[in-house]
Amino acid sequence: MPTAPVFTEPVRPVTASGVPLLGNLPEFARDPLAFFTRLRDDHGDMVEWRLGRQRCLFLSRPDHVGELLGGAESTFEHAKMPPTFLLLHGEGMVNSKGDEWRRKRALVQPAIRPRQVRSYARTMAQCAEEFAEGLTVGERLDVRRSMLKLTQRIAVRTLFGTDTAEQEATVARTMDVAQREVGAELGGFASMVPGWAPTPGRRRLKAAIAELDAEVLRLIREHKGTAGEREDLISRLLTARDEQGRSLTDREIRDEAVTLYIAGHETTGTTLTWAWYLLSGHPEVRARLVAEAREVFGDRFPDHDDYPRLTYTQQVIKETLRLYPPVWLVYGHATDRSTVGGVRIPAGSRVYASPWVTHRDPRWFPDPETFRPERWTEEFDAVLPAHAWFPFGGGPRACPGARFALVESALVLATVARRFSLHVDPGALPAKAALTLQPAKNVLGTVTTA
Residue 351 beta carbon to ligand HEM: minimum distance, rounded to whole angstroms: 12
346-385: b or e for each residue (b if 16 or more CB lie within 10 Å)?
A: eeebbbbbbbbbbbbbeebbeebeebbbebbeeeeeeebb
DSSP designation for 449: E
Quick one: 43 or 397, whose CB is closer to ligand HEM?
397
Taking the complex as a whole, how short is the minimal distance between the CB of residue 402 and ligand HEM, in angstroms?
Answer: 7
Least separation in angstroms between residue 103's CB and ligand HEM is: 12
Question: Smallest distance from the beta carbon of 408 to ligand HEM, in angstroms?
Answer: 7
CA–CA distance, 259 with 167 (Å, rounded to integer): 18
Q: Which residues pair with 384 in a beta bridge?
A: none
Residues that bind ligand HEM (CB under 6 A): 79, 93-94, 105, 112, 259-260, 263-264, 267-268, 271, 326-327, 330, 391-393, 397, 399-401, 404-405
**Residue placing its CB nearer to ligand HEM in the complex, 13 or 264:** 264
Of the pair 216, 399, the CB lying nearest ligand HEM is at 399
The C-alpha atoms of residue 29 and residue 379 are separated, in whole angstroms, by 39
Using DSSP's 3-state secondary structure scheme, residue 225 falls into coil
The one-character DSSP state at 395 is G
User: For residues 259 and 421, which CB has a smaller minimum distance to ligand HEM in the complex?
Assistant: 259
Cβ at position 185, least distance to ligand HEM in Å:
19
Residue 355 and residue 391 in contact, taking contact as beta carbons nearer than 8 Å = yes
- Minimum Å distance from CB 139 to ligand HEM? 26
Q: Give the strand pairing for 350-353 and 54-59.
A: parallel
The helix/strand/coil state of 344 is strand
Cβ proximity to ligand HEM: between 47 and 275 the closer is: 275
Distance of closest approach, residue 254 Cβ to ligand HEM, in angstroms? 14
Cα separation values, 145 from 273, 281, 421, 441, Å: 9, 20, 16, 12
Rounded to whole angstroms, the Cα distance separating 163 from 183 reads 29
Residue closer to ligand HEM by CB (options 62, 391) is 391
CB of residue 199 to ligand HEM, shortest distance in Å: 28
Contacts of 379 (CB under 8 A, 6+ apart): 1, 2
Check: CB of residue 39 under 8 Å from CB of residue 352. Answer: no
Residue nearest to ligand HEM (CB): 401
The vertex-325 CA angle with 176 and 45, nearest 5°, equals 135
Whichever of 43 and 403 has its CB closer to ligand HEM, that residue is: 403
Q: Which is nearer to ligand HEM, 172 or 190 (CB)?
A: 172
